[in-house]
Amino acid sequence: MDTVQKAMAGFSLDLGPLKEPLGFIRVLEWVFSIFAFATIGGYTGTTHLTVSCPDSDRPVEAFFAYPFRLAMKPYCPLLCNGSCTETYLQGDFSSSAQFFVCVGVFAFLYCTATLVVYLGYRSVYLQTSRGPVIDLLLTAAFAFLWLVSSSAWGKGLTDVKYATDPNHLVLLCGSCKAGEFPSMGRLNASVIFGFLNLILWAGNCWFIYKETPFHKLPAPPSPTQEGGAPGP
C-alpha cells in the first residue's frame, strides 16, 4: 500500500511530451503495434475448389486460420461417385506468425508503460541518465525485432499463399478445378504495419538518443578563441 501511495504521489500528468517528437512517435508506435498484431490474430481464410462431375459441379472448401498450422484441419472433396477422401493442406507456418504477434504485443505493452512514464513521471525519467539510456536500448532492440519478425512473417505469408493457392491444390486432385483464391488483405496489411513499425522504432532512437548523455552539445568557444589572444 505504501508503494502505491508513493508512486501516486510522484505522478504528475503533463501532456506536453505529446507535442514533442519523442512522445508523438511513441503514440504512433502504440497505435501501429496494435494494427500489426490485430490484423493477423484471429484471421480465418477459405480456399475454394470445384469437383467437376457429369451432372454438376460440387464445391469444396478448405479452411485455415491463425497460427497457420495448415494440416490441423482436413477438407474432404466429394467425388462424383459419392466417396469422400480426407485431404490436408500442407505446411506449418506458426513459428513466424506467432513470433510476429508476440513482438507486436510486447511492443504495445512497452509503449503503454513508457507513455505512462513520459506523461506522468517525466521529471523522474529525466532525473538521471539511466532512464533515457535504458529506453534507447530497449527501443533499438524492438526496432531489430520488428525487422526480424516482419521479414520472417513476410516469407511465411508467401508460403501460406502458395500452400493455399487453388491452382496449386488442383494438382493433388485430378478432377478438381481451381476456385476463388482466399482473401488475404488483412495478412498483407500486417506485413506493411510490421515494416512501418520498424521505421517508427528505428527513427525514434534518434530522439531518445538526444535525451541521453551520449548526445553532447558542442561547448561554446572561450573568450580567448573569440577575440584572439589577450593583450599584455
Query: What is the rounded distance in angstroms from the CA atom of residue 102 to the CA atom of residue 51?
Result: 40
Which residues neighbour 186 within 8 Å (Cβ) at sequence distance 6 or greater?
Answer: 39, 40, 43
User: Three cell numbers at 174?
Assistant: 485430378
Rounded to two decimals, the pTM is 0.84
- pLDDT beyond 90 at 100: yes
Between 73 and 23, the higher pLDDT residue:
23
Query: What is the rounded distance in angstroms from the CA atom of residue 39 to the CA atom of residue 80?
Result: 39
pLDDT, residue 232, reads: 46
Query: What is the rounded distance in angstroms from the CA atom of residue 116 to the CA atom of residue 12?
Result: 10
pLDDT digits (tens, 9 = 90+) for 154-207: 999 999 999 999 888 887 776 778 888 899 999 999 999 999 999 999 999 999
**Residue 33 near residue 104, CB atoms below 8 Å:** yes
